[in-house]
Structure formats: structure tokens, C-alpha cells
Amino acid sequence: MTTSAPDAPAATPAEPAALQRLHPLTPVLRGAKFFLAVLAVLSYRELPQLGVGRALIGLLAVVVVAFVLSYASWRFTWYRIDGKELQFESGVLFRRSRRVPLERVQAIDIVRPLVGRILGLAELRLEVVGQGNTEAPLAYLTEDEAHRLRARLLALAAGVHADTPEPDETVLARIPSRDLVISVLLLGQVVIGLPLLAVAAVGLLLIDIRAFLGSLPALASFALGIGSVSVRRLLVEYGFTLAESPDGLRLRHGLLETRAQTVPPGRVQAIRLVQPVLWRRRDWVRVEVDVAGYAGGDEGQAVTGALLPVAPRAIGVHLIQRVLSGVDVAAIARRPVPSRAAPLDPVQWQQLAIGLTPQVLVVFSGRLRRVIDLVPLAKVQSLRLAQGPLQRRLGLASLHVDTAGRRLATTAAHRDAAEALDLFHEISELARAERELRRRVTR
Amino acid sequence: MTVALYPTDVAWRPVSPRLVVVRRALALGLLTPVALGTCIVVAVLTSPVGAVGAAMLAAGSLSWLWWTIGRACRSWGYAERADDLLVRHGFVIRRLSVVPYGRMQFLDVTAGPIDRRVQIATVHLHTAAAATDARIPGLPAQEAARLRDRLAALGEARAAGL
């Protein structure tokens, strides 16, 4: 499968890695995906009108076009590891050559869609800070190849020799399916939304069957709205396993489409510990992480972002301790906001608090759904202090902490203004110390 | 009860007074014809007394705008410290940002047609965080160039990984 690209520079003898193609079944899989999408639309609407004969001819044409396009795109796609970079060549008419410096890789995922699993194929995704979507999707490779390549990329990203074998991992947590299902059923939208919907449906049915039938589409779409989020969570987070190895945290999850994510050490920009109100009795928490590079656009990531979908608090706290090297959430002293903040946030002002250690800023919030945000100070990009007119009258100010993550925004709201200014200086000093420490270590 | 939100122990530098001129010219240039048009319409549709009322109202809002723009523009300030850049602005909502030089990813210097005529420019610092808000408008062109070069040099010297 090794061919040299027509416009690639002549290979130097010192360059051992040749340009490689993706797996030859790639066009089949891509074409099949496209075909299935067309089929779904077609069978739903048009098939009865078109007649079987014409429909078959149309489908055949779609198959041919899809296959030819996928084949052409496959034919012109190459990749290779070139020193400390991944080189990625693609495009039929407009050629694109991309080089991804491996030191900058924020996370590596192996995604196996359902059809891919049947054929034994997987997609390797490299996340780099940038435009938002995955920068170099290597789709598709054989599963073995994907794993081998990931090991090489991670080794290079960590600065060791590419042939270093993948280090062993220790499993930190395995989420039982039973807990996951219960936790999703205990979410507010399910507990309140679904019974409300049922009551509405039964009520309508008893009053007037025609009104019921008329409102059926609305009811169905509402149910689908509640259901799809929960079902999606179940599908994406099913069989969740979290493991730790020297090359980073490893997450494996998914029911139909499985995903194996690797987050190299020190890539976590922020962590959030969430506890919806109905999880409180079991003392379950959910741990979410923010890593630079994952944008909200990627559907799988947008739903999850979870480091632990559901686990007893002790495990969550322990996990945070591991990821943020020794930060103990339970032991951090809370500094509440002054009672002057009550008029500005009557619901949750009593829960608003912060904690600060030399390594991390912790922000507590949420009345029913308790949230604890943690930002490692080494990751702080900038700080912002803001004071609206009401806050000025009450002598309050809000402190925003910006990191390179895109999903979790951290705000210490309604602090005493003088304290906020002190915090502003203190945090920027601590962050500077942390940055300098890191720089000395890496040099 | 008011507490100074901005640190007082740093050397704040103001932006060019020409920023006020540009902003006022823009706002009044756009809104005066609208106000005049409204007055004429009112004069035609109602009585001259109504038109006088409308004119007074328009004059009132325009002078309020005049004053507000002055306050808003004068509220901008920046300070270069040893390791980071401080930017403050805002008159109704006050804001203070700090961006460490090492966190800077790239820099923009922009100037619109009117800005160019009076030789001012906007310097905008970007970090890896989308929320970072470090923009300094109304810098004299020379000062903008100096700041750009200095920030670029400092950013390179102190660059920190993500």
C-alpha cells in the first residue's frame, strides 16, 4: 500500500517512513455511509411514488457516484510520520498538504463506527488546538494499525523513541451499566419531563380523542427531544472504562460506535464535578473535563466530555486528585460570597463560593444541580474582572478565568470588589509561578 | 460603598484623545441625519410645536451620546507590567483584563479608513482562550507599532505551552 505522491519531494535516504494510503476498504465504507443516508431519505418519502424499477436505477446511480467519489478521494490521500510531525496529503482537485507537530497534540481518539466494527476498521483522530473540527482524521485504518499508530504518535508526542512499546495501563474506574441507566433516569428532564408528558397525553386522550391525535406529533417530538439526549448519553457512555497509563488518561466507551480516547498528561484545561439534585441521595457525581482542541461541534464529544459519567463521590474526588496531581476537592476551604450578593442571585448566592490553592482555583455554584469547577492555574490564559452598575452599587465584582478549553467557562461571580481585585493579582501571580515552574521542568 | 476596581499602583496609559473624535464623528454622522429626518416628518405630520419638542429631544439624546462616548473612550487604559499586559475599560460595566505575555498566540493591528486619517489603530491580543478580551483601540499609529513589536518580542521570550 505504499506509493509516493506525485508531487511529494524525492524521498531522502534518511527518511525511512514512506507515504501510506488509508485502508483500501475506506471508499466502500464511506460510500456505504452516504448510500445509507440517501436510502433513509428516499424510502421515507419518495419510494412509493417512484416505483420500484426507477428507484433501483436511481439507487444504483447513487451507489456508483458515491463509490467513485470516495475512491478518488481515497486514491489521493496519504499520510506518514515524518520526524516529529504527521504529514497528511489529501484532495483530488485542490491538493492539501498538512503537517501536524506531534508535540502539540492535545488528544488522540480511535473511533469505530458500527459499520467499521463489522469490517474491523477504525478512524484515528488527532486533536490539535485550531479551527474546531478534527484536524487530521485518519479514516479508515485497520484496528491493529490504528492502535499501533496511536502508540507511535503518543510516544513521539511524549518525546521518546517512536518504537517504544505502549505502556501498561491501570484501570481507575469501570462504570456498571446499571448505574449508568439509573443515573440517566434520575436526570431532571427525564424525571420531570416524561411523567408530565404522560399526564398530558392521558389527559388529552380522556378529554377528546381527536385533540389527542392532533397533538400526537407535538407530543412525539417533545418525547423524542427528552429521549434523544438521554438515549444518546446511554449510547455514547455505555461501558465506560477509565484507565491511566504513563502516556495519559485512556477512556473507552460506546455501545454502537465505540470510542477510545487518550488524553496525554497535562492536557486538561479544566475539570467540572456535577451533581444533579436526584443523585444526591446516592452521592453520585459526574466528572467532566475540558481539553483544548475539542470543539462543541463534534457530536460525540459534545454529548459526553465526561471523564466519569457517574460514580460515587469518593471516586470522583480521587480521580481529580490524580489528574490535578494532589488537589483534594473535599479538603479545600470555601470562601463564600458576601450576603450583599443575595439580590443579584437570589437562588444560588448561598452556594457561590471559591477556594484557592497555589495550584488550582475552585469555584462552587448551583442550588439544585451542584457544580464544582476546577481550573489548574498553570492553564490560565487570561483573567478578566467585570463590574456591572448594580454590582458597583453593592461593592461586588465577578472574576472570569479563561483557559484554552471551549466547553467549561469558569466565573467566580459576585465577590466582594476589594477581594476580587486581590484575587485578580493573587491568581495572576500564582499562575505566573506555575508557568515558570513548568517551563523550567520542560527545559 | 464603591471600591476602585482598577489597581492604582500601576502606570496606566490613556489612549489617544483622537479616539473620542473618531467615535463621536461616526455616531453623530450617522445619527444626525436620522434625527433631522425625524424632526421634519414630525413637523409635516403634526404641528411646529411637536417639531420643536422632537428637535429638543433629539438634541438632548445626541448631547447625551456625545458625553457618553467621551466617558467611554476616556475609560480605556492599559499598562505594560513586567510579565503581563493590563487593559481596563468600561464606564457602565467596568472591565479589567490581564494577559500574560507568554500566553499571547497572535496579535492584530487594525485601522479603519477614518482611523487611518487621524492615525490611530486598534491592537488586539489573542490567546488560546476564545474569551480573552484584550483589545486596545485608539492607539496613535506609532504607539501601536511600538506596542506590537514589544508584545511580539516579549511573547516570544516568554512563550509558554498550553
Could you read off the pLDDT of A204-233 as tens digits, one per residue? 888 888 888 888 888 888 888 888 888 888
Three cell numbers, residue A103: 508535540
Looking at the structure, tell me whether residues A279 and A360 fall in a common domain: yes
User: Chain B: which residues have CB within 8 Å of chain A?
Assistant: 1-5, 7, 83-84, 90, 92-100, 102-103, 127-134, 160-162
More confident residue, B107 or A4: B107
The answer to the question of residue A55 being in a domain is no
The answer to the question of residue A333 being in a domain is yes
Percent of chain A with pLDDT over 70: 89
The answer to the question of residue B66 being in a domain is yes
For residue B13, is pLDDT > 50?
A: yes
The answer to the question of residue B7 being in a domain is no
Looking at the structure, tell me whether residues A186 and A284 fall in a common domain: no
- Domain finish residue from B30, B48, B73: B73
Distance, in Å, from the CA atom of A295 to the CA atom of A302, rounded to the nearest integer, reads 8
Looking at the structure, tell me whether residues A416 and A312 fall in a common domain: yes
Number of domains in chain B: 2
- Domain finish residue from B26, B42, B73: B73
The answer to the question of residue B9 being in a domain is no
The answer to the question of residue B5 being in a domain is no
Looking at the structure, tell me whether residues A329 and A227 fall in a common domain: no
Looking at the structure, tell me whether residues A283 and A231 fall in a common domain: no
Three cell numbers, residue B113: 479608513
Interface confidence (ipTM) of the complex = 0.87
Under DSSP, the state recorded for B16 is: P
Q: Which domain holds residue A333?
A: 266-442
For residue A149, is pLDDT > 80?
A: yes
Looking at the structure, tell me whether residues A219 and A343 fall in a common domain: no
Looking at the structure, tell me whether residues A360 and A219 fall in a common domain: no
Looking at the structure, tell me whether residues B153 and B81 fall in a common domain: yes
The answer to the question of residue A4 being in a domain is no
The answer to the question of residue B11 being in a domain is no
Residue the block writes with cell 443516508: A37
Q: What is the mean pLDDT of residues B96-116?
A: 91
Looking at the structure, tell me whether residues B29 and B54 fall in a common domain: yes
Looking at the structure, tell me whether residues A313 and A429 fall in a common domain: yes
- Domain finish residue from A219, A237, A255: A237
A414: which chain B residues are within 8 Å (Cβ-Cβ)? none
Burial of B106 (0-12, 13-18, 19+ CB in 10 A): exposed
Looking at the structure, tell me whether residues A230 and A292 fall in a common domain: no
Looking at the structure, tell me whether residues B51 and B94 fall in a common domain: no
Looking at the structure, tell me whether residues A289 and A346 fall in a common domain: yes
Helix/strand/coil for A10 = coil
B71: which chain A residues are within 8 Å (Cβ-Cβ)? none
For residue A412, is pLDDT > 90?
A: yes
Looking at the structure, tell me whether residues B53 and B87 fall in a common domain: no
A409: which chain B residues are within 8 Å (Cβ-Cβ)? 131
The answer to the question of residue A340 being in a domain is yes
Looking at the structure, tell me whether residues A293 and A423 fall in a common domain: yes
How far is B104 from chain A, CA to nearest CA, in Å? 8
Looking at the structure, tell me whether residues A297 and A181 fall in a common domain: no
Q: Name the H helices within B1-140.
A: 18-45, 48-74, 113-117
Could you read off the pLDDT of A336-393 as tens digits, one per residue? 999 999 999 999 999 999 999 999 999 999 999 999 999 999 999 999 999 999 999 9
For residue A157, is pLDDT > 70?
A: yes
Q: What is the mean pLDDT of residues A155-165?
A: 80
Distance, in Å, from the CA atom of A373 to the CA atom of A404, rounded to the nearest integer, reads 15
The answer to the question of residue B129 being in a domain is yes
Residue the block writes with cell 397525553: A201
Top mean-pLDDT range of A238-242, A258-262, A435-439: A238-242
> Do A395 and B1 make contact, defined as CB atoms within 8 angstroms?
yes
Instruction: Tell me the average pLDDT of chain B.
Output: 89
Q: What is the CATH number of the domain that holds B125?
A: 2.30.29
The pLDDT value given to residue B9 = 85
The pLDDT value given to residue A41 = 72
The answer to the question of residue A232 being in a domain is yes
- Domain finish residue from B52, B73, B94: B73
Looking at the structure, tell me whether residues B29 and B65 fall in a common domain: yes
Rg, C-alpha atoms of chain A:
26
Distance, in Å, from the CA atom of A5 to the CA atom of A212, rounded to the nearest integer, reads 63
Q: Which domain holds residue B141?
A: 77-158
- Name, in order, each residue with C-beta under 8 angstroms of B55's C-beta and a sequence gap of 6 or more: B39
Q: Find the CB nearest B128 among A292, A438, A442.
A: A292
Number of domains in chain A: 2
pTM assigned to the model:
0.82
Q: Find the CB nearest B133 among A104, A384, A406.
A: A384
B103: which chain A residues are within 8 Å (Cβ-Cβ)? 381-382
The answer to the question of residue B2 being in a domain is no
The pLDDT value given to residue A300 = 41
The answer to the question of residue A159 being in a domain is no
Distances in whole angstroms, Cα of residue B76 to Cα of each of A67, A390, B6, B17, B50: 59, 21, 11, 11, 39
In chain B, whose CA is at the least distance from the CA of A397?
Answer: B5
Q: What is the mean pLDDT of residues B41-53?
A: 85
Q: Are B91 and B102 in contact (CB under 8 A)?
A: no
